[in-house]
Amino acid sequence: SHGTAEDGWCIANAPVRVDLAGGWSDTPPISYEHGGAVTGISVTVDSVKPISARCRRIKDICCKLITEERCPEDGSLLSTRNVQLKTLGDLSDYRDPCADAALLKASLIYLGLVETSIFCSNDESLLCVPLQPYLEKLMGCNCGIELVSTSLLPRGSGMGSSSILAGCLISAALGCITNMNCRLTQQQLIQAVLTLEQMITTGGGWQDQVNGLIPGAKIARSKREDFPVEVFVEKVQVKSKFFVELNQ
Protein backbone atom coordinates (compact mmCIF):
# COMPACT_ATOMS: atom_id res chain seq x y z
CA SER A 1 0.00 0.00 0.00
CA HIS A 2 1.08 3.56 -0.61
CA GLY A 3 0.06 6.91 0.81
CA THR A 4 1.13 10.37 1.91
CA ALA A 5 1.02 11.26 5.59
CA GLU A 6 0.09 14.67 6.98
CA ASP A 7 3.64 15.48 8.07
CA GLY A 8 5.00 15.22 4.53
CA TRP A 9 6.04 11.59 4.57
CA CYS A 10 5.33 9.44 1.53
CA ILE A 11 4.84 5.94 2.91
CA ALA A 12 4.85 2.49 1.31
CA ASN A 13 4.38 -0.74 3.25
CA ALA A 14 4.05 -4.37 2.30
CA PRO A 15 3.55 -7.89 3.57
CA VAL A 16 6.18 -10.58 3.08
CA ARG A 17 5.96 -13.77 1.06
CA VAL A 18 5.78 -17.52 1.41
CA ASP A 19 6.60 -19.62 -1.65
CA LEU A 20 4.67 -22.87 -1.84
CA ALA A 21 6.17 -24.42 -4.97
CA GLY A 22 8.70 -23.64 -7.67
CA GLY A 23 11.14 -21.59 -5.63
CA TRP A 24 14.54 -21.05 -7.34
CA SER A 25 13.03 -21.54 -10.79
CA ASP A 26 12.76 -17.74 -10.90
CA THR A 27 16.52 -17.21 -10.54
CA PRO A 28 19.16 -17.01 -13.27
CA PRO A 29 20.36 -19.02 -15.07
CA ILE A 30 17.43 -21.43 -14.61
CA SER A 31 14.78 -18.83 -15.41
CA TYR A 32 16.69 -17.57 -18.46
CA GLU A 33 17.26 -21.01 -19.93
CA HIS A 34 14.00 -22.75 -19.03
CA GLY A 35 11.59 -20.11 -17.74
CA GLY A 36 10.25 -20.06 -14.20
CA ALA A 37 7.01 -20.81 -12.36
CA VAL A 38 6.45 -20.10 -8.68
CA THR A 39 3.32 -20.47 -6.57
CA GLY A 40 3.24 -18.23 -3.52
CA ILE A 41 1.22 -15.99 -1.24
CA SER A 42 1.68 -12.66 0.49
CA VAL A 43 1.35 -12.82 4.27
CA THR A 44 1.22 -10.42 7.16
CA VAL A 45 2.97 -11.14 10.46
CA ASP A 46 0.63 -10.94 13.44
CA SER A 47 -1.79 -9.06 11.15
CA VAL A 48 0.84 -6.39 10.41
CA LYS A 49 2.66 -5.59 7.17
CA PRO A 50 6.24 -5.88 8.44
CA ILE A 51 8.13 -4.07 5.67
CA SER A 52 7.87 -0.33 5.05
CA ALA A 53 9.68 2.71 3.70
CA ARG A 54 8.99 6.41 4.05
CA CYS A 55 10.41 9.44 2.33
CA ARG A 56 10.13 13.22 2.64
CA ARG A 57 11.76 16.43 1.51
CA ILE A 58 14.01 18.24 3.96
CA LYS A 59 15.59 21.69 4.12
CA ASP A 60 19.16 20.41 4.41
CA ILE A 61 20.78 19.95 0.99
CA CYS A 62 21.78 16.33 1.50
CA CYS A 63 20.45 12.79 1.48
CA LYS A 64 19.64 11.38 4.91
CA LEU A 65 19.35 7.62 4.81
CA ILE A 66 18.07 5.75 7.86
CA THR A 67 17.78 2.00 8.36
CA GLU A 68 15.52 0.89 11.21
CA GLU A 69 14.92 -2.47 12.83
CA ARG A 70 11.83 -2.58 15.03
CA CYS A 71 10.24 -5.06 17.41
CA PRO A 72 7.48 -7.11 15.73
CA GLU A 73 5.40 -7.15 18.92
CA ASP A 74 5.06 -3.44 19.65
CA GLY A 75 6.99 -1.63 16.89
CA SER A 76 9.55 -0.21 19.32
CA LEU A 77 12.90 0.75 17.82
CA LEU A 78 15.58 -1.91 18.29
CA SER A 79 18.38 -0.37 16.24
CA THR A 80 18.98 2.38 13.74
CA ARG A 81 21.78 3.32 11.36
CA ASN A 82 22.12 6.79 9.89
CA VAL A 83 24.04 7.76 6.77
CA GLN A 84 24.29 11.29 5.41
CA LEU A 85 25.29 11.84 1.79
CA LYS A 86 26.78 15.16 0.68
CA THR A 87 29.18 14.19 -2.13
CA LEU A 88 29.27 11.71 -5.00
CA GLY A 89 31.88 9.76 -3.05
CA ASP A 90 29.35 9.11 -0.30
CA LEU A 91 27.30 7.15 -2.85
CA SER A 92 30.15 5.22 -4.41
CA ASP A 93 29.80 2.04 -2.31
CA TYR A 94 26.21 1.38 -3.39
CA ARG A 95 27.40 -1.77 -5.22
CA ASP A 96 28.58 -3.32 -1.96
CA PRO A 97 25.57 -5.06 -0.35
CA CYS A 98 27.37 -4.95 3.01
CA ALA A 99 27.76 -1.15 2.93
CA ASP A 100 25.53 0.93 5.17
CA ALA A 101 22.27 1.82 3.43
CA ALA A 102 23.38 0.20 0.14
CA LEU A 103 19.78 -0.57 -0.83
CA LEU A 104 18.69 3.00 -0.09
CA LYS A 105 21.60 4.47 -2.06
CA ALA A 106 20.88 2.22 -5.03
CA SER A 107 17.19 3.17 -4.92
CA LEU A 108 18.01 6.87 -5.35
CA ILE A 109 20.52 6.14 -8.11
CA TYR A 110 17.97 3.97 -9.90
CA LEU A 111 15.49 6.84 -9.76
CA GLY A 112 17.97 9.16 -11.45
CA LEU A 113 19.94 10.96 -8.74
CA VAL A 114 23.21 10.31 -10.63
CA GLU A 115 24.37 8.25 -13.59
CA THR A 116 26.14 5.02 -12.65
CA SER A 117 28.82 5.79 -15.25
CA ILE A 118 30.21 8.45 -12.90
CA PHE A 119 31.50 5.73 -10.61
CA CYS A 120 33.35 4.01 -13.48
CA SER A 121 35.57 7.03 -14.05
CA ASN A 122 39.23 7.01 -13.07
CA ASP A 123 38.95 10.67 -12.08
CA GLU A 124 38.92 10.47 -8.28
CA SER A 125 38.23 14.20 -8.02
CA LEU A 126 34.66 13.46 -9.12
CA LEU A 127 34.05 11.77 -5.78
CA CYS A 128 34.44 15.14 -4.04
CA VAL A 129 31.76 16.80 -6.17
CA PRO A 130 28.80 17.99 -4.03
CA LEU A 131 25.45 16.26 -4.45
CA GLN A 132 23.59 19.59 -4.32
CA PRO A 133 23.17 20.17 -8.09
CA TYR A 134 22.09 16.56 -8.60
CA LEU A 135 19.54 16.86 -5.79
CA GLU A 136 18.18 20.10 -7.22
CA LYS A 137 17.71 18.47 -10.62
CA LEU A 138 16.02 15.40 -9.15
CA MET A 139 13.82 17.17 -6.62
CA GLY A 140 13.00 20.21 -8.72
CA CYS A 141 13.84 22.62 -5.91
CA ASN A 142 16.56 23.57 -3.44
CA CYS A 143 16.00 20.80 -0.90
CA GLY A 144 17.26 17.45 0.27
CA ILE A 145 15.64 14.08 0.82
CA GLU A 146 15.22 11.77 3.81
CA LEU A 147 14.62 8.08 3.10
CA VAL A 148 13.90 5.55 5.84
CA SER A 149 13.62 1.77 5.61
CA THR A 150 11.90 -0.20 8.37
CA SER A 151 11.66 -3.92 9.02
CA LEU A 152 9.87 -5.79 11.79
CA LEU A 153 11.68 -8.98 10.84
CA PRO A 154 15.22 -10.14 11.63
CA ARG A 155 17.76 -10.28 8.83
CA GLY A 156 17.70 -13.50 6.88
CA SER A 157 14.09 -14.25 7.76
CA GLY A 158 13.69 -16.16 4.50
CA MET A 159 10.51 -14.29 3.61
CA GLY A 160 11.87 -12.10 0.82
CA SER A 161 12.16 -8.97 2.92
CA SER A 162 15.12 -7.40 1.06
CA SER A 163 13.47 -7.50 -2.38
CA ILE A 164 10.14 -6.38 -0.95
CA LEU A 165 11.86 -3.53 0.89
CA ALA A 166 13.45 -2.43 -2.39
CA GLY A 167 9.98 -2.13 -3.91
CA CYS A 168 8.78 -0.08 -0.94
CA LEU A 169 11.81 2.24 -1.14
CA ILE A 170 11.25 2.94 -4.83
CA SER A 171 7.52 3.54 -4.31
CA ALA A 172 8.00 5.88 -1.35
CA ALA A 173 10.79 7.89 -2.99
CA LEU A 174 8.76 8.35 -6.17
CA GLY A 175 6.20 10.33 -4.20
CA CYS A 176 8.83 12.93 -3.28
CA ILE A 177 10.53 13.37 -6.63
CA THR A 178 9.05 16.22 -8.67
CA ASN A 179 9.91 15.04 -12.15
CA MET A 180 8.78 11.48 -11.44
CA ASN A 181 5.51 12.11 -9.60
CA CYS A 182 3.93 8.86 -10.68
CA ARG A 183 3.19 5.35 -9.51
CA LEU A 184 4.65 2.32 -11.20
CA THR A 185 2.56 -0.53 -12.50
CA GLN A 186 3.06 -3.93 -10.87
CA GLN A 187 5.15 -5.11 -13.82
CA GLN A 188 7.30 -1.96 -13.73
CA LEU A 189 7.90 -2.33 -10.00
CA ILE A 190 8.87 -6.00 -10.35
CA GLN A 191 11.34 -5.06 -13.09
CA ALA A 192 12.66 -2.14 -11.03
CA VAL A 193 13.50 -4.43 -8.12
CA LEU A 194 15.25 -6.87 -10.48
CA THR A 195 17.38 -4.01 -11.80
CA LEU A 196 18.09 -2.68 -8.32
CA GLU A 197 19.35 -6.05 -7.10
CA GLN A 198 21.67 -6.26 -10.10
CA MET A 199 22.98 -2.80 -9.21
CA ILE A 200 23.96 -3.87 -5.69
CA THR A 201 25.38 -7.13 -7.11
CA THR A 202 23.14 -9.48 -5.11
CA GLY A 203 21.37 -10.70 -8.24
CA GLY A 204 18.40 -12.90 -7.47
CA GLY A 205 15.12 -13.69 -9.14
CA TRP A 206 11.66 -12.20 -9.23
CA GLN A 207 9.50 -14.29 -6.93
CA ASP A 208 10.19 -12.36 -3.70
CA GLN A 209 8.80 -9.09 -4.97
CA VAL A 210 6.00 -10.76 -6.95
CA ASN A 211 4.70 -12.74 -3.99
CA GLY A 212 5.22 -9.93 -1.48
CA LEU A 213 4.13 -6.85 -3.43
CA ILE A 214 1.17 -8.41 -5.25
CA PRO A 215 -1.57 -9.43 -2.79
CA GLY A 216 -3.12 -12.85 -2.35
CA ALA A 217 -2.24 -16.25 -3.75
CA LYS A 218 -0.85 -16.48 -7.25
CA ILE A 219 1.16 -18.44 -9.79
CA ALA A 220 3.84 -16.32 -11.45
CA ARG A 221 5.60 -17.38 -14.62
CA SER A 222 8.38 -16.14 -16.87
CA LYS A 223 9.26 -17.36 -20.36
CA ARG A 224 12.54 -18.95 -21.33
CA GLU A 225 15.07 -16.81 -23.22
CA ASP A 226 12.93 -13.71 -22.69
CA PHE A 227 14.96 -10.51 -22.14
CA PRO A 228 14.17 -8.37 -20.31
CA VAL A 229 12.31 -10.78 -18.09
CA GLU A 230 8.55 -10.32 -18.10
CA VAL A 231 6.58 -11.96 -15.31
CA PHE A 232 3.00 -13.07 -15.86
CA VAL A 233 0.89 -13.32 -12.72
CA GLU A 234 -2.22 -15.47 -12.44
CA LYS A 235 -4.30 -15.02 -9.29
CA VAL A 236 -5.35 -18.27 -7.60
CA GLN A 237 -8.71 -18.66 -5.90
CA VAL A 238 -8.10 -20.34 -2.56
CA LYS A 239 -10.71 -21.76 -0.21
CA SER A 240 -11.00 -19.97 3.12
CA LYS A 241 -10.29 -23.27 4.89
CA PHE A 242 -6.75 -23.19 3.50
CA PHE A 243 -6.02 -19.80 5.09
CA VAL A 244 -7.53 -20.94 8.40
CA GLU A 245 -5.20 -23.93 8.44
CA LEU A 246 -2.24 -21.79 7.36
CA ASN A 247 -2.84 -19.28 10.15
CA GLN A 248 -2.82 -22.10 12.68
For the chain, the distance separating the N- and C-terminal CA atoms, rounded to the nearest angstrom, is 26
Distance CA 177, CA 112 (A): 10
36 in a structural domain: no
Cite the DSSP H helix spans in 140-238. Answer: 161-174, 186-199, 207-213
Count: domains in the chain: 1
- Residue 244 is assigned to a structural domain of this protein: no
Amino acid at 216: G
Q: What integer pLDDT is reported at residue 126 of this predicted model?
A: 83
Q: Quick one: pLDDT at residue 1?
A: 58
- Report how far residue 55's alpha carbon sits from residue 53's, in angstroms, rounded to the nearest whole number: 7
- Asked whether residue 135 is assigned to any structural domain, the reply reads yes
Is 74 inside a domain boundary?
Answer: yes
DSSP state of 126: G
Within-domain flag for 23: no
Query: What pLDDT score was predicted for residue 96?
Result: 94
The 8-class DSSP code of residue 88 comes to: G
Residue 228, domain member (yes or no): no
Query: Quick check: is 133 in a domain?
Result: yes
d(C-alpha 197, C-alpha 192), whole Å: 9
Contact 222, 26 (CB under 8 A): yes
CA angle, 87 then 90 then 96, to 5°: 150
Q: What per-residue confidence (pLDDT) applies to 120? A: 85
> Model-level pTM?
0.92
* SS3 label, residue 41: strand
Burial of 76 from C-beta contacts in 10 A (0-12 / 13-18 / 19+) = exposed
Tell me the pLDDT of the chain (248 aa) as tens digits: 555 444 589 999 999 999 999 989 999 888 989 999 999 999 999 899 999 999 999 998 899 999 999 998 888 999 999 999 999 999 999 999 999 999 999 999 999 999 998 888 878 888 899 999 999 898 888 889 999 999 999 877 889 999 999 999 999 999 888 656 577 888 899 999 999 999 998 888 999 999 999 999 999 999 998 888 889 999 999 888 988 888 88
Q: Which domain holds residue 115?
A: 2-15+48-209
Position 34 in a domain: no
Instruction: Report the CATH number that the domain containing residue 203 is assigned in CATH.
Output: 3.30.230
